Structure 1
Amino acid sequence: MNNIEFKKLRQKLGLTLAELGSILDTDPRTIRKWEADGAASTSRDPNPIACRVLEWLRDGYRPSQWPDGK
């Protein structure tokens, strides 16, 4: 999964950077870097484990950190 796919899936799930950060136990600034354009100096590839978790969320898994109402 590339940075654009990662961001689109997070947005499709209706999760903010902070909400996904809580689920992944990751700083939202790190997620922002994963989602940044590859040309940006602060960009980096999304973490493969985070990509897998995002796919689980897409497939219906809801951890205890899932925001109420989503």
Structure 2
Amino acid sequence: MTPAEFKEARRKLGLSQSQLGQILDTTPQTIRKWEMAEDRSTARSVNPVAARVMGWLLSGWRPPEWPRG
């Protein structure tokens, strides 16, 4: 999953970087770095486990940490 695909998936789910960070047990800063263009010096590759969880979220699975309302 590319950074742009990851960001688009998060937006499609209606989640903020903070909310997704809580679901993935990471910081909003890490989410931001995963979403950065790959040519930026502070960008990081999207974590493969996070990408897999994002796929589950897109298919309808919701963890207990899912934001209410």
TM-score grouping bracket, smaller chain normalisation: over 0.9
Confirm or deny that 1:13 pairs with 2:13: yes
Partners of 1:21 and 1:47 in 2: CA distance: 12
Where does the alignment leave 5 or more consecutive residues of structure 2 unmatched?
Answer: none
Give deviations 1:22-69, integer Å, cap 9, x for gaps: 000001101100000111111011000000001000000011110012
Task: List, as ranges, runs of 4+ consecutive aligned residues in structure 1 with deviation greater than 2 Å.
Answer: none
Where does the alignment leave 5 or more consecutive residues of structure 1 unmatched?
Answer: none
Instruction: Provide the aligned length of Structure 1 versus Structure 2.
Output: 69
TM-score between the two structures when normalised by the length of structure 2:
0.96
Partners of 1:38 and 1:24 in 2: CA distance: 21
- Percent sequence identity is 55
The alignment yields a C-alpha RMSD, in angstroms, of: 0.6
